């Protein structure tokens, strides 16, 4: 009786990035899509904001339709290393740094400690 060989299994690999951000490039082609801003420019803004915010090795990727389709906005989806998936609508004029802060909220205990004093007046 001949032995049946097991089918080949996919080989897991370890990418050089930890977080992924998907920017829908189909949004700019929709009739009710965003005007005067391109998906590639949005991806660049988000990528720069990720670097400035020190998001761990984020990879920004243009993708086809994510089937969310907000009016006059791009759909952006982010998956962080802790498994959290966040979706936002990014409109022309929105701040990329604020978008990244929404996509990658700080984890409890990761907030940097400020050396400044409290702004509340002291009672004397």
Nearest to 74 by CA among 91, 94, 93: 91
pTM: 0.76
Measured from the Cβ of residue 123, the count of other Cβ atoms closer than 10 Å reads 4
> From CA 7, how far away is CA 111, in angstroms rounded?
47
Q: E strand or H helix at 52, and its extent? A: helix 39-52
First CA to last CA distance, the chain: 93
Q: For 22-76, what is each residue's pLDDT tens digit?
A: 999 998 888 888 888 999 999 999 999 999 999 888 999 999 999 998 999 999 9
> From CA 23, how far away is CA 75, in angstroms rounded?
6
């Amino acid at each position: 009786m001949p032995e049946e060989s097991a089918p080949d299994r996919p080989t897991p690999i370890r990418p050089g990035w930890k977080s992924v951000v998907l920017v829908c490039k189909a949004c700019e082609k929709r009739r009710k899509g965003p005007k005067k801003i391109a998906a590639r420019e949005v991806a660049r803004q988000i990528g720069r904001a990720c670097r400035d915010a020190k998001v761990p090795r984020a990879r920004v990727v243009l993708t086809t339709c994510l089937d969310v389709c907000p009016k006059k906005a791009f759909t952006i989806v982010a998956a962080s290393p802790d498994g959290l998936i966040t979706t936002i609508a990014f409109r022309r004029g929105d701040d990329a740094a604020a978008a990244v802060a929404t996509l990658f909220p700080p984890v409890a205990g990761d907030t940097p400690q400020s050396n400044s004093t409290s702004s509340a007046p002291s009672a004397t």
